[in-house]
Amino acid sequence: MGFYVNPGNKSFWESIRSSIYVDKTGLIGCINPFINTNEKFICMSRPRRFGKSMALEMLAAYYSCGCESADLFKGLKIEEDESFFENLNRYDVIFLNMQQFLIEAPSGKVTQYLEQEVLRELRKEYGEILSGRDRGLAVALREIYVETEREFIFLIDEWDCVMRERQKSEELQKQYLDFLRNLLKDQPYVALAYMTGILPVKKYGQHSALNMFAEYSMTDQSIFEEYTGFTEAEVKHLCERFTMDFAETKSWYDGYELAKGRPIYNPKSVVEAMRRRKFSNYWTSTETYEALKVYMDMDFDGLRSDIVHMLGGGRIRINTRSFQNDMCNFNTKDDVLTLLVHLGYLGYDCEAEEAFIPNKEIIREFENAMSVGGWTEIMRVLKASERLLEDTLSGDGEEVARGLDRAHGEAASILTYNDENSLACAIGLAYYSARKDYRMVRELPAGRGFADIVFLPLPLRGKPALVVELKYDKSAGAAIQQIKDRHYTQALEGYAGEILLVGINYDKEKRDKPHSCVIEKLVK
């Protein structure tokens, strides 16, 4: 065993011995069919701390020859797969953590240092074949293949760190991508190449240097959806095991909605919450909010409005196809929002092509980024939201209407009212503080239609549920009547307690007092 060549199974052994281990070995069964096919090049991009490195350590333990891993996988999902023994410890594995090479290599010599280190280990195993003249890594691997017919599986972690951390060095980036292309493309010794990173494959002009890779990213994970993070069933099991409230966990860490509508949870945050038995910002605490603020403050027309729209619970349609898969070339606001999807700050619905803020943890990070300047008006709306909620819970419709008037005045320069949908986003923003005690749901199926906004109280908060209906140029009374006529309270099936029906109308002709509000109490 070596450090780069056939690294063994110790890291995976440590993972399964940890206090929390979620079985993701089914990923191996998804990958095995790709070996020695035209689909053998896989680029799996996810946000930081979403389990990318752990997955690679699992694959290294499974594929690496020179170690016996059958006992490690005993009782895990992959053991039931028909391909389990066919590929178990059958390949030479080359494991490359590009972050390590970027840190250790002399300036500008990342690929040269990588070749030197990997060749040094290969000579220990294949010394007779590689004796004599110096050669590059690709040439050495071809010679090994010709002499032995040994095939290699390449596992590359943090493949995109050169793009992320050397953003200004286009020459280094191009050299690095050309190196990977020469090492992997059309080479007979490659049985499989599996790369992980935050960004999909870098685009240069019309073609990518690594166009042989199939990309599975936060905009489309395809068959690998359930291995992107924790599934709902996995999180429910952890909540039962650690006696943590599932609804609260969902409010904090859910929201990464993928193609099949399957909820995906942030694994880092869920694990920390279970271990510490406390809900908090664990994923976002690993990186300063300044990183988010840089992108929020970019001067693209409509970007600030879109962010405010999402803070209010809305969704924004974006075009992800123009993004160049780096962190410095932006041509439109869509490119910025697409990067935030890949970084994990936004969720993405690939069927509707819409971005949104996924959960309470991420909402707080946006608030932190706005609090340091440049978003003064919006911060005033957020700070006033506590009083607005208090007035709502006390049933004071007139004071709620005045509060909404003030909020509208503050946010008017960024968020305009055009229809009931934009009104809903503005109302969601005005009730921002409610998310401490509630889960806010937009367009909740209920009775004969969809309730505009429903605030579902989190357990042990002692708060009433809120069903909010919005009208544009009609009346607050009509909104209340619609809640009743269409039986929107049926959306709260299983809920027992007080419900407040909140009807809100916006009249664009009334410049001074455009909002009106009626609140009624219902006990279910």
Mean pLDDT of 6-33: 95
Question: pLDDT-derived band of residue 413, with 50, 70 and 90 as boundaries?
Answer: low
- Give the Cα separation of 396 and 390 in Å (integer): 9
Question: Both tokens of residue 306?
Answer: 């879109």
Indicate if 362 and 440 belong to the same structural domain: no
Last residue of a domain, one of 216, 250, 278: 216
Any domain includes 422: yes
Based on the fold, state whether residues 321 and 200 are members of the same structural domain: no
Does residue 197 register a pLDDT over 90? yes
Same domain, 83 and 106: yes
Which domain covers residue 396, as residue numbers?
376-523
- The answer to whether residue 493 scores a pLDDT higher than 90 is no
Residue 63's pLDDT is 97
Residue 312, in any domain of the structure: yes
What average pLDDT score do residues 141-162 get? 95
Is residue 426 domain-shared with residue 518, that is, in the same domain? Answer: yes
In the predicted model, is pLDDT for residue 185 greater than 90? yes
Indicate whether 2 belongs to any domain: no
User: In Å, how far from its chain's centre is CA 387?
Assistant: 32
Residue 468 pairs with which residues in a beta bridge?
453, 502
Question: Average pLDDT over the chain, rounded to whole?
Answer: 90
CA distance linking residue 31 with residue 163, whole number of Å: 26
pLDDT computed for residue 122 by the predictor: 94
Judge whether 20 lies within some domain: yes
Statement: residue 130 has pLDDT above 70: yes
What are the tens digits of pLDDT across the range 430-457?
999 998 888 888 887 776 777 888 998 8
What confidence tens digit (pLDDT) does each residue in 50-105 have? 999 999 999 999 999 988 999 999 999 999 999 999 999 999 999 999 999 999 99
Do residues 158 and 16 both lie within one domain? yes
Q: What is the pLDDT of residue 250?
A: 92
Last residue of a domain, one of 169, 197, 216: 216
Same domain, 115 and 152: yes
Q: Is residue 238 part of a domain?
A: yes
Together in a domain, 251 and 316: yes
166 and 241 co-located in one domain:
no
Give residue 204's pLDDT: 64
Determine, yes or no, domain membership for 3: no
Asked if residue 455 belongs to a domain, the reply is yes
Q: Is it the case that residue 366 has pLDDT exceeding 80?
A: yes
Yes or no: say if 440 and 464 are a contact pair by the CB < 8 Å rule.
Answer: no
Q: What is the pLDDT of residue 171?
A: 86
Together in a domain, 19 and 122: yes
In a domain, 1, yes or no: no
Same domain as 235, residue 136: no
Alpha-carbon span 21 to 14, nearest angstrom: 10
CATH code (residue 160): 3.40.50
Q: What is the pLDDT of residues 217-236, one digit of tens each?
A: 999 888 898 899 999 999 99
* pLDDT of the residue at 459: 81
Mean pLDDT in residue range 487-502: 85
Least confident range of 7-21, 30-44, 386-400, 461-475: 461-475
pLDDT reported for residue 299: 78
Q: Is the model more confident about 373 or about 376?
A: 376
The CATH number of the domain where 448 resides is what? 3.40.1350
**336 and 221 assigned to the same domain:** yes
Residue 237's Cβ-count burial label (10 Å; 0-12, 13-18, 19+) is middle
Residues in the chain: 524
User: What pLDDT sits at residue 43?
Assistant: 95
DSSP conformation class of 145? H
Domain boundary among 184, 216, 248: 216
pLDDT exceeding 90 applies to what percent of the chain? Answer: 60
Read off the pLDDT of residues 308-365 as tens digits, 9 standing for 90 and up.
889 988 899 999 988 888 888 888 999 999 999 999 999 999 888 999 999 999 999 9
Q: Residue 288: its pLDDT value, please?
A: 58
**Residue with more model confidence, 285 or 170:** 170
Report the C-alpha gap between 34 and 429 in whole angstroms.
46
Backbone angles phi, psi at 486, to 5 degrees: -100, 10
Low-confidence winner among 27-31, 70-74, 141-145, 440-444 (lowest mean pLDDT): 440-444
Give the chain's domain count. Answer: 3
- 296 and 413 inside one domain: no
